[in-house]
Structure formats: structure tokens, C-alpha cells
Amino acid sequence: MVGVEKAIFDGAASFEPSQPDVYGNAHPKDLLRAITEEHEYLLALARSHIASAAQFERPLLLQLFRLAAKYEANPERFATPIKPLSGKLLISAFYEPSTRTRLSFESAWHRLGGDIMSITDRSTTGIAKGESLSDVAEMFNNYGDCVVLRDNREESVMEMMDKLRIPIINAGNGCDEHPTQALADLYTIMKWKPALLAEEPAEKIRIGVVGVPRRMRTVRSLLTLLSRFSGMVEEIVVIHDGADEELYAPGQKENLVREGLRIRESTDLNGELPDLDVVYINAIAWVKDGFEVMGGNLKLNANSPLKKSAIVLHPLARGDELCTSLDNTQHNWYFAQARGAVFMRMALLTCMVQRTEMVMDIV
Amino acid sequence: MVGVEKAIFDGAASFEPSQPDVYGNAHPKDLLRAITEEHEYLLALARSHIASAAQFERPLLLQLFRLAAKYEANPERFATPIKPLSGKLLISAFYEPSTRTRLSFESAWHRLGGDIMSITDRSTTGIAKGESLSDVAEMFNNYGDCVVLRDNREESVMEMMDKLRIPIINAGNGCDEHPTQALADLYTIMKWKPALLAEEPAEKIRIGVVGVPRRMRTVRSLLTLLSRFSGMVEEIVVIHDGADEELYAPGQKENLVREGLRIRESTDLNGELPDLDVVYINAIAWVKDGFEVMGGNLKLNANSPLKKSAIVLHPLARGDELCTSLDNTQHNWYFAQARGAVFMRMALLTCMVQRTEMVMDIV
Amino acid sequence: MVGVEKAIFDGAASFEPSQPDVYGNAHPKDLLRAITEEHEYLLALARSHIASAAQFERPLLLQLFRLAAKYEANPERFATPIKPLSGKLLISAFYEPSTRTRLSFESAWHRLGGDIMSITDRSTTGIAKGESLSDVAEMFNNYGDCVVLRDNREESVMEMMDKLRIPIINAGNGCDEHPTQALADLYTIMKWKPALLAEEPAEKIRIGVVGVPRRMRTVRSLLTLLSRFSGMVEEIVVIHDGADEELYAPGQKENLVREGLRIRESTDLNGELPDLDVVYINAIAWVKDGFEVMGGNLKLNANSPLKKSAIVLHPLARGDELCTSLDNTQHNWYFAQARGAVFMRMALLTCMVQRTEMVMDIV
């Protein structure tokens, strides 16, 4: 015997799925209870474009966390028969390859009962024939109710927004921003410790960010959102390999500091780890036609000197920088982060296409 | 600050979509009122294949315009809860790359409540392994309720029709035909001036067609459909750059003239413009493995000597031949044309899969 | 006139679909009546992974044949309004190109009312960035309710199963297995002659398998399933071109013989044909990055010395080995086989995602 037949006789393939969900469902109910519904913030999102993390103020973030937690705490409740997005049509336009983010958005939309049209490849599109994004936006106005756009050019989102009469979400524009990833990151932190929602939490946290804020879109958007919760942050340590001449874009650090964040830089990952409560690690920076792996010597594994209570976050997909030996440890919150991203996107999409009223507690 | 964050602080990205729909919703209600429902023509489309513009006689065209206008006049009405295509499955087979036409058809189908399976790329298919279209058609019989086919080979549609027991729509077969584009073109003209529906309208129109009827599938199909309304046409002027030895396929012009169209040729675009009521412009001709841009010196912009009341049509995607300076003028009916194409396809698809009765006024 | 317009005037394109369904709907009702419902076997499939044909014992196979026949006998019955998969989300992950199998699964899922997210191309995925299938599986846990996987690497299914908490179906893993194709093959044989369901049928059948069991996944899975019905098999003749040094994988033939199959090898196709009741032919073997056509001199056509009552099966897509001259003969059961595959997959999917109760006769 060979192949899967052999594996099955060897007992490797059980008829019962054996893997328990040990790290996925972390505490959305606690987070839900910790926030009071104030739905006017959600209603105000109706027909809004989502281009930048900078658009989100603290009260709106709290309400989005709450709605995401409500979805996550009871995933079946809003599927059949409520289907808040029934009759709504999403244009999922991924001109830069991505399965993870695309499927995360599409899953969110389908879970709410909506329909989807996907573009998964620039080469099969009119853009390959030289069509402008402005004209594509005009076309999208006629075809759907919402657009999710990923493109490797920074200016793509703004070009589309200028012509769209339906809302768009920036799902990553080159090295600029990835606001919904940052929403999911922060949602994970809040699920982990709902007490951090307080204006001035009793215990502040120290966050390590392994990456280059100037060049990594997930890091850029995350730092912006963290500035809305500066009261909970003892310090942010930006950990890098020293290779980049400029760690920050012009004005980037100054803005964050002005918002109340304390930021320090370091090149000594293992030296910093024992003092960090949250470690956010990412190694990919987007460049024109592809990506670049950075900080090759900055790696985490089960033997890294992590604080016992520390959680590790990663936007995924991962490379060598995040060892699978951490997967079965209590530090692994990156899988919970990926899971929560779906519910966070459900929350955002519901509001953008004006179906908030269908999922509010009090109408 | 850089990127979209900066743009947002500069006010470029409003939370409210600001672009009004100035040219999209033009007059479908007037057109609806101008035509009396005679649904036997629509019912006769049940399970029909749509291969050529030549299949459409005038009374059927009127009823299709009417149903399209009915959908466009009230887009929400047939979404939830009627869903005329509920339980119906479309096979959207685009072996030649296209986003615009694919999404237009898929949007139409989804808007009516149907489900879709998409093929967006020849390279991911069995055809890449050498499978014949006849065998693909046999497979499609088992998998769906309707096929939309785009292929760069002229003979593809006929090969499939020969084996299909479900209806197929030709969405562009090489340089041969693109009948639903022509339906959308004519629908736009009728929305613009419903008075043209009369057998012998009081004011006839002069139509300029910038392109090569022998080689451009959209032009070929449009001319055929215009011949069904020869009473409204004062003259058709085919405007070309003089580069093609043969402007027409064998018999093509003779057929059109026999149907009552007056056709003249010209190479002087700006000389003709002041006398034209409708200017249809297209620069792309399909060749074996791609496309060719033709008539590079035939261009329209806001300074072109257009008649004040003239409308410009373009099947899109556009290149240099149609300047964006026209977008915010009253000549721009090409965006209305793209929008109307969705509703026209809704009308056609409803009839083809035998759900006409669900959307008729009088049953 | 040229193109489809000419063809239409020549009468080649009728407005009424003319092709009758002469070989598609063969006898599902007889098969349905021949099997008594014992739904405990179907209920036990809930949340199971389907990796290998070796997982299927005879009683479960009978119940799957029965449910497939029930769907096929009355295709409309379970569409609207029952929709047994309403609210369920399929991840259709085809990392190796395939339209036929992908659309067969997607059609099955849609026919039952479920929603789908498709991956049609490895190059547009995170796997192209070096992501492991284990991490992809973690992601899939959050995104859908069931996975269909095709991959050219044999080990892919096991890697995913190890991390998945939702059920997965192996839709072809390199040269290893393709269990649902084998289910469809056997379902076709049972529809052809329901009397073969008896433990010891009065008339046994002689089956010719043109192919190489060691290297063809469809042949491997089919032989395994046939071993569950050894009582109906007089003999299996493996017909090959003599080019392969090893016809079987280590232990493969011994296993089949132990299960009661009589197996003989031959290189004389035409010499064997007059004695065969079922001829299964396939010419494609999967290799690392593509496929190889084997047995180039083993071909069937309408002049082949087939027994008058013999049926021909082929997993399709076909090449030269199966001549279209057989299409309009009574030997053609390969189109019925492709059609039945959709209903067989409907049966399997219903059970895997725990919706069996919605389609049982007796609850």
C-alpha cells in the first residue's frame, strides 16, 4: 500500500476530525460584554469608503470590536435565516495575488448571505489591455454594491474612490496601508484582554513590533490604530535588523508620538522579548512587482525568551520568521487573529452597505 | 504623512460618496412607457441559444428593451424576495480574458438571484489539455442551466451549440459577433430618444460608426441590429482611417442595404461630426491571440466639433480614441450604455431560462 | 454573410435545442428501488474526511448510490425550496488546473443551495509565496465548512487533514487517488445493471481496465472500490501497452486479490474486447508538473470489436484513445458517467456537512 490508502490504514486519517479548536475562539463573549452598544457610530459608516486606518476614531473602533465579537460569539446566529447581506453583491478585486485576504473577505460576505464576483488575477482583466482604474471604477458602479480592492500601486485606492458611487475597502495598496488587517490585529488584542478598553487601564502593555514601519503596510496601519489607544500602551518597541536607513516615512513617527504613543527602536530581539506583552512580527514588505523578505535574522520560536503570558501576533502568511514550534503554545494568538479577521470584516461590511439595523441589539 | 492617510487629511477621501449619478439613470421609465407589453415574444426565447444579432427581429427587440427598462427603472424590485433566477446556475466561460463583459453578465445573473460558476482563464481548463469544445459542451449540459461563452475563435459558439441541451449566449467570438453588446447599444439609443421606436419617426437620426465593420465584432452586431430599425436612420457613416483594403465582409454591406439602411463611408471624422446625432466609436479589433488597435488618428475629445445634442457611444474598455475630457459633458452616454448593458442582459437571461412569467406585468 | 450569422441562415443554429438526452438519464430510478434506505451509514459520514477509496465499505457505498440515484431521479426536488446546503460555504481549492472536476463539485454544491469560494490557480495564492499547506489548512478552518482539494503532490491531502477541523475531499492528489471519480464510475455500473448489487449476482461481469494501476489515480481508486464488489466480477483484465516495467504499486495487486478480485493482464486490446462487459479506458497519468499520455496504441472506436451489450467508461477529458464515433452508439456510458458524477458528489457532500437528515426518506 502507498499514498493516502496506506496512511489511512496506518491510522493517520481518522474519520473524526481530531484537532480541537484550542486557540481560535478566545473570549469574544467577554469582549462583547465589556462594550456598550452605541450604534450611531456604526450607522455613520453607511456608504463610507475605507481607505486608511487614519479614518477610525476610538469610539467607532469600540463599536466595530463589539459587533465583530457578537458575530464571533455566535457564528450561526446571523447565517440562516437573517442573512443581513441578502441581495447585496460584492466585487472582490484582487489585482495583486492573495488567497488569504481574499477568502477572508469573501467568507465574511458569504456568511452574511451576500453574493460575490471575484477578480483574482490582473492578467485576465481589461487592465491588462490598458484600461484605467478610473474607468474600472465607473464599471464597478453598475455591477455591485461594494468593492474590496487589493493592488500593488499605492495610488490605486484613491483613483477608484474618486469615481465610485459604491463603497470601497482598501485591502492592501502596495506598501501604503492595510486598514482591515490592523482592525483585526487590534480586535485580537482586545479579545485577549478586554480590560485594555479602559481609557487608562490599570496595567498597560508593552508591544514589540518586528518590522519596518516605513515599508510594511500592515505595520503602518497597525501603528495608526494603536495611537487611538495610547492610554493602554506603556511603550512600543520597533525591532528591526538595522539594514534600513529610514525606519519611518516622513512625519510618521512624529504623528504617532503626538497622539500619545511612546516609541523606541531596537535591533536586539531576544533582549527585548522578556519585557514584551505583545509581539507583532512580520517579514514581508511589498515592492513594485512582488515582495521582499526583510529582517532575516529576526526570528521567533518556542525557545525564544518570551514572557510567559506574552501573545504573538502575525498577519500571515508566515515564513521562517515564525517557527511552527510556537503553534501549540499559549503564545499562539496568530491563529485566533486570522479567525477574528473574518468576524471583524463581517462587522465592517455590514455597516458599509447599510445593513447595520438588521444586526443591532436595540433598534 | 504619505499615501492614503495624507490624502484623507487633505480631504481627498470623503466619508460620503460625492460623485452624483448624472448620466447613468437616463430615462428608462420613458422607454418603458413607450412600449406595450407583448410577452409572447419573450416567452418564445425560452431555451433559445443567442449566437448572432441576426436572430433578433424588431418586435422581440422592443420587448427586450421594455423588460430591460423595467429592471433599470426599479433595480431593487426584482432582487429580494422575487429572485426570478433562484435555483438557476450560470456557467460563465471566458476563455478570452475580459472583466467588463464577464462582470456585466455575472452581475445581471446575481441581481436576479441566480448562482454562478466562473471560468476566467483558458490556461486553467481542460481545453489546455487538448479537450474539444464539443466535449466541454457535453460537460456543461450536466453542470448548469445556461452558458455565457467568450472565445477568440469564431467557430467556438457553433461547436458548442451543436452539443448543448442548455441555452448559450455568444459573449464575443473572435472578430465575428457580440450580439448582447449590440442589444445594449441599441437600448441606449432608445432610452435617449424613445420617439425613435416609431416605425417612421418624425426626426430620423444620422449615426457615425468609427470602426471597421469587417473586423470589429461589436460593429458587425450593431449594424445588423440597426437594420431592424432602418426607418429611424437617415444615414450611417462608416468612418475609418483608410488603412483597410476591405471595410466589409463579403455580402455584409449588401445585406444591410437590402434591409433599408443607407450607408456611406468617410475618412474625415471631424468633417462628419457636425452632422451626426449618434457617434459610435471603437478602436479594438480582435485577432487570433489578442487584439489590434485600429484607426489611431480617429479620436474624440471635448473639443471635437460634435453637434450640441449628439451622444457618444463606446463599447469600452477605451483607449486614446475617447478622451476623458468628454466624461463630464452631455455627450457622454457611454457610461449609461455600460450601465444599461446589465439590465439588458437581465432581460435576456430571464427569458432564456424560462422565468419570464415571474417578471411579466400581466400573467 | 460569414460567421454565426451565416450559420444561422443556413439553419445550423436552431432556436430550439435539438440534441435529445439519449444516454444521460439512464435508470437512476431502478437503482433507487433496488436499494433499501439504511441512513445510519450516511449519518456516520458527518464531518468525515474523504481521502481514499479505501475508506468505503460496501454498505456505505450502497447508501451513497441510493442517495445519488434519488437526486438524479428527480433533480428539481431538492433545489428550491429545500436547499439542504443553505448557509454552508465550500472552499474549492484546485491547485492543479481542472475545469471538469471543479465544476462538477461546484455544480453539486450549488444545486444543494450552498455558496462557494474558488481557488483555480496556484500562481494566485499564498502558496506561490511559500506558504505551507498546513498553514493554508488553518486558514481554511476559519473560512468555510468543507474543502475540496486537488493538488499534484501526493502528500497534500494528508498535510491538510492533519490541521483541518472541517471535512476535506481529495479530488485528485498527484498519481495517488481520486476517490470521488471512482464512486462515480461504480455508480454508473450500478445504474446500468442494478442486479449487480446482489452479493452473488446470477450473471457476473468481465471488466477491462485500459491503463496502468500504479500510475493512474482514477484506476487506483476504481480498483479499490471494485474490490468491495468482488462477487459481481468474473475477472478484471488490465490492458496495457507493455511499456511500463511495473504495472502495480508494491502490494497493490496482492491487496485486490486478497479482497476476492480475479485480475489478469493483457496487451491485446482487440483480442480482449469481445469478452468484456465493461471497458474502462484512460490514457492520462499525472506526473510532477503535468501529465503524460500513455498507451498511445490502445484506442477504441465504433469499429472496435466490442460485445454488443458492452458499455464504455472514461473519466474524461478524453484524447485520441476514445473516438467520438462511439458517442452516438449504445456503448457510450461515459457521458452518463460524467452526469452521474454530479449527483454522486451531491450525495457525498450532503452527508459530510451533516445535512443528511434534510434529504432522508424516513426521519
Q: Would you call the peptide bond into C97 cis, given omega within 30 degrees of 0 as the criterion? A: no
- Say if residue A24's pLDDT is above 90: no
Adjacent-strand bridge partners of C263: C236
Mean pLDDT of C276-293: 80
- Residue range C328-346: mean pLDDT, rounded: 94
Let me know: does B177 contact B213? Beta carbons within 8 Å: no
Structure confidence at residue C285 as a pLDDT band (50, 70, 90): confident
Any domain includes C14: no
| Average of per-residue pLDDT across A157-170 | 94
Q: Which helix (H) or strand (E) holds A263?
A: strand A263-266
Q: Residue C284: pLDDT band by 50, 70, 90 thresholds? A: confident
Torsion of CA A143, A147, A148, A153, to 10 degrees: 90
B128 against A144, higher pLDDT: A144
Dist. CA C351–CA C41, nearest whole Å:
9
Nearest Cα residue to A168 out of A144, A145, A148: A148
Picking from B120, B152, B176, the residue at the C-terminal end of a domain is B176
pLDDT digits (tens, 9 = 90+) for C240-282: 998 887 999 999 999 999 999 999 999 999 999 999 999 999 9
Separation of alpha carbons C214 and C243, rounded Å: 13
Identify the H or E element spanning A43: helix A40-43
CB neighbour list of residue B290: distance below 8 Å, 6 or more residues apart: none
* Domains: count for chain A: 2
Spatial separation of the C-alpha atoms in residues A179 and A71, rounded to whole Å: 20
**pLDDT score, position A189:** 95
Residues from chain C that touch A284, judged by Cβ atoms under 8 A, are: 129
Task: State whether A155 and A191 are in the same domain.
Answer: no
Choice among A121-135, B9-23, B299-313, C155-169 with the minimum mean pLDDT: B9-23
Rg, chain C, Cα only? 21
pLDDT tens for B159-216 read 999 999 999 999 999 989 999 999 999 999 999 999 999 988 999 999 999 999 999 9
Listed residue (B217, B218, B219, B200) closest to B209, CA to CA = B219
Q: Tell how strand B89-94 and strand B115-119 pair up.
A: parallel
Instruction: Yes or no: say if C356 and C46 are a contact pair by the CB < 8 Å rule.
Output: yes
A90 CA to chain B: closest CA distance, Å?
10
Is C49 exposed, middle or buried, given 0-12, 13-18 or 19+ CB atoms closer than 10 A? buried
Shared-domain flag, residues A166 and A188: no
Mean pLDDT of C15-28: 55
Q: Which of A126, A155, A174 is the last residue of a domain?
A: A174
pLDDT at B26: 53
Same domain for A335 and A190, yes or no, is yes
Q: What is the pLDDT of residues B229-256, one digit of tens each?
A: 999 999 999 999 988 879 999 999 999 9
Residue A118 backbone dihedrals phi, psi, to 5 degrees:
-110, 140
Residues of A in contact with B318 (CB under 8 A): 131, 135
* Within a domain: B279: yes
Both B137 and B206 in one domain: the answer is no
Comparing CB atoms, the residue among B130, B165, B224 nearest residue C319 is: B130
Per-residue pLDDT at B14: 52
- pLDDT of A267: 95
End-to-end Cα spacing for chain B: 62
Contact check, Cβ <8 Å, B136/C99? yes
On whether any CB of chain B is under 8 Å from the CB of C96, the answer is no
Chain C contact for B257 (CB, 8 A cutoff): no
Enumerate the residues of chain B whose CB falls inside 8 A of the CB of residue A176.
2-4
Q: Of A55-59, B15-19, B229-233, where does the model show the most confidence?
A: B229-233
Chosen domain end from B126, B144, B176: B176
Q: What pLDDT shows up at residue A1?
A: 62
Q: Does some domain include residue C84?
A: yes
Examine the pLDDT at B22 and tell me if it is beyond 50.
no
Q: Which amino acid is at A320?
A: D
Find out whether B187 and B344 touch, Cβ atoms under 8 Å: yes
Q: In chain C, pLDDT over 70 holds for what percent of residues?
A: 89
Q: Considering only the beta carbons, identify the residue of A52, A135, A141 that sits closest to B5.
A: A52
Q: Is A115 helix (H, G, I), strand (E, B) or coil?
A: strand
Reported confidence tier of residue B29, pLDDT bands at 50, 70, 90 = confident
C238 and C351 part of one domain: no
pLDDT digits (tens, 9 = 90+) for C184-211: 999 999 999 999 999 889 999 999 999 9
Average pLDDT over residues B85-111: 94
What is the mean pLDDT of the segment spanning B305-332? Answer: 95
Q: How many Cβ contacts (< 8 angstroms) between chains A and B?
A: 143
Closest CA relative to residue A69, chosen from A113, A106, A25:
A25
Predicted local distance difference test score (pLDDT) of residue A159: 93
Residue B135 to residue C80, Cβ atoms within 8 A: no
If one counts every other C-beta atom within 10 angstroms of the C-beta of residue B314, the result is 25
| ipTM for the whole complex | 0.91
Does residue A79 carry a pLDDT above 90?
A: no
C172-189 tens-digit pLDDT: 999 899 999 999 999 999
Q: Within an 8 Å CB–CB cutoff, is residue B316 touching chain A?
A: yes
* B contacts of A55 (beta carbons < 8 Å): 8, 13, 15
Cα C339 to Cα C345: distance, rounded to the nearest angstrom? 11
Average pLDDT over residues A94-109: 93
Nearest to C94 by CA among C103, C107, C84: C103
- B290 sits in which H/E element: strand B290-293
Q: Is A324 on the interface with C (CB under 8 A)?
A: yes
In this complex, the residue of C89, C142, C177 whose CB is nearest that of residue A339 is C142
**ω before A317 within 30° of 0 (cis)?**
yes
| pLDDT value, residue A47 | 81
Whether A27 has a pLDDT exceeding 80, the answer reads no
Q: Look at A78 and C86; give whichever has higher pLDDT.
A: C86
Q: Rounded to an integer, what distance in angstroms lies between the CA atom of residue C253 and that of residue C264?
A: 10
CA distances (Å), C349 to each of A267, B261, C24, C110, C168, in order? 52, 57, 22, 11, 10
DSSP symbols for C205-260: EEEEEES-TTT-HHHHHHHHHHGGGGGGEEEEEEE--S--S-SS-TTHHHHHHHTT
Q: How many residues does chain B have?
A: 363
- Those of residues 41-60 in B touching chain C at CB distance below 8 A are 44, 47-49, 51-55
- Do residues C84 and C355 make contact, with C-beta atoms less than 8 angstroms apart? yes
Tell me the pLDDT of chain A averaged across its residues.
Answer: 88
- Please report whether residue B88 resides in a domain: yes
Q: Dump pLDDT digits (tens) for B32-65.
A: 888 999 989 999 988 888 999 989 999 999 999 9
Please determine, for residue C1, whether its predicted confidence score (pLDDT) is greater than 70.
Answer: no
On whether any CB of chain C is under 8 Å from the CB of B158, the answer is yes
In terms of Cα–Cα distance, which of B106, C271, C252 is closest to A92? B106
CB count in 10 Å sphere of residue A320: 11
Task: For residues A168 and A192, state if they share a domain.
Answer: no
Percent of residues, chain B, with pLDDT higher than 70: 89
Give the model's pLDDT for residue C81: 73
Cβ within 8 Å, pair A173-B7: no
Q: CB count, 10 Å around CB of A213?
A: 24
* Short-list A51, A36, A35, CA closest to A348: A51
Q: Quickly state the pLDDT bin for A22 (edges 50, 70, 90).
A: very low
Bridge partners of residue A286, in order along the sequence: A291
Structural domain of A261: 179-339
Same domain, C321 and C206: yes
Q: What is the mean pLDDT of residues C297-307?
A: 95
pLDDT of residue C286: 67
Q: Give yes or no for a contact between B59 and B44, defined as CB atoms under 8 angstroms apart.
A: no
**How many Cβ atoms sit within 10 Å of the Cβ of residue C154?**
18
pLDDT digits (tens, 9 = 90+) for B272-298: 999 999 999 998 776 666 667 766 689
- Any domain includes B108: yes
C9 falls within a domain: no
Instruction: Say yes or no for a CB contact (<8 Å) between C154 and A103.
Output: no
The CATH number linked to A83 is 3.40.50.1370
Q: Which residues contact C144 (CB under 8 A, 6 or more apart)?
A: A103, A107, C89, C90, C91, C117, C166
Per-residue confidence (pLDDT) for residue B16, from 0 to 100: 53
Residues B164 and B203 in one domain: no
pLDDT beyond 60 at C109: yes
Please give the average per-residue pLDDT across A189-209, as a whole number.
93
Nearest by CB to residue B339, choosing from A125, A142, A158, is A142
**Residues A191 and A274 reside in one and the same domain:** yes
Instruction: Give the model's pLDDT for residue A143.
Output: 96
- Report the pLDDT value the prediction gives residue C297, as an integer from 0 to 100: 84
At A363 the pLDDT is 60
Residue carrying the nine cell digits 427598462: B69
Q: Worst-scoring range by mean pLDDT, A16-20, A29-33, A208-212, C274-278? A: A16-20
In a shared domain, residues A199 and A331? yes
Domain match, A212 and A289 both: yes
Q: Which of B251, B284, B288, B294 is nearest to B156 (CA)?
A: B288
Specify if B7 maps to a domain: no
Here the cell at position C354 is: 451533516
Residue C124 has pLDDT above 60, yes or no: no
Q: How large is the average pLDDT for residues C301-314?
A: 97
pLDDT in the model for residue B97: 79
Q: Are residues A164 and A183 in the same domain?
A: no
Return mean pLDDT, chain C. 88
Amino acid at A152: N
Contacts with C326 (C-beta within 8 Å, 6 or more apart), sequence order = C300, C301, C302, C312, C332
Residue C270 located in a structural domain: yes
Local confidence band at B24 (pLDDT 50, 70, 90 cut-offs): very low
CA-based nearest residue to A26, from A235, A356, A363, A330: A330
* Strand intervals (E) in B84-196: 89-94, 115-119, 146-151, 168-173
Q: What is the pLDDT of residue C288?
A: 60
The number of C-alpha atoms within 13 Å of C280 and in the hemisphere containing its C-beta is 29
Question: Does pLDDT of A56 surpass 70?
Answer: yes
Give percent above pLDDT 90 in chain B. Answer: 66
* Residue B143 near residue B165, CB atoms below 8 Å: no
